[in-house]
Structure 1
Amino acid sequence: MPKKPRAAKPNEKGNIVKVHPDRGGTSEDKPLFSFYLLQSSFNIKACSKDEKAQLANRIHLLSGLPWKNLKTSPRHGAGYEKISRDSIKVAIPQEITEDVKHFIAFRCFGKAPMIGYRQEQTFHAIWLDPKFAVYDH
């Protein structure tokens, strides 16, 4: 049974509390996907109809596999690759705190990556990168 999401609490400036890195979840969990932090310059609006369909199919495939399988699968298959924070060439959203040291990239259509990070069971997508501009490949 999936864990209930924690309620967001405002900080002293009235903003939502900053996002934190993986503090739990197990390798047996299957990923949940969040597009809440998807950046406007790298979002689904820029995708073709075919790319959107491929992305939906990829998410469906990935959400059926436990994290342990995703970790050991090839990065151009159902797996992912780790990307260090200092390899990111675009602005990192301010909601993502410095304690997030690395990101992960799943291939979402063709070899184009969907980049984000894992927090417990959830993969938070931040960038869809069909032009390969977010990090050096």
Structure 2
Amino acid sequence: MSIESVLVEIQQLYTEEYEILPLYEEWVELQESFVEEFRRYAADDIISADFDTYESLIVGLASRRTIERLEDALERYKYKPWLEKSFYDRYPQYRFLERYDLSEYPKMYRTMIVLERMRIKLLELICLLDFTEKK
């Protein structure tokens, strides 16, 4: 794939899938459904805050001047470690959720899927830019 085609895919994911997602308040419901697991694995953590942090990085990079930010090798170097990890890799205390079907929380679930797709595409873009620069 070319840099341009990956960049187009990122922008399409952002404008056609992420931007149209409704705001959601499903984190409270999720925590109530898995209260014991949250107590056991993430008692002192706030999943909505951690997800907001994760989401902000991906969306911020995908939504504004993506190529301008990533043209600089130092910027790519800073973003790459963040993008190499999925939400559950970055916040392993929530890994217990991977065992469950979270589609009961459709807005949150859809957001997670779109963000994961954007994350992978952003990482692909970084790898392409790195490869191109080394030529």
Fold conserved between structures, TM > 0.5: no
Larger radius of gyration: 2
More RCO (CA 8 Å, sep 6+):
2
TM-score by length of 2: 0.28
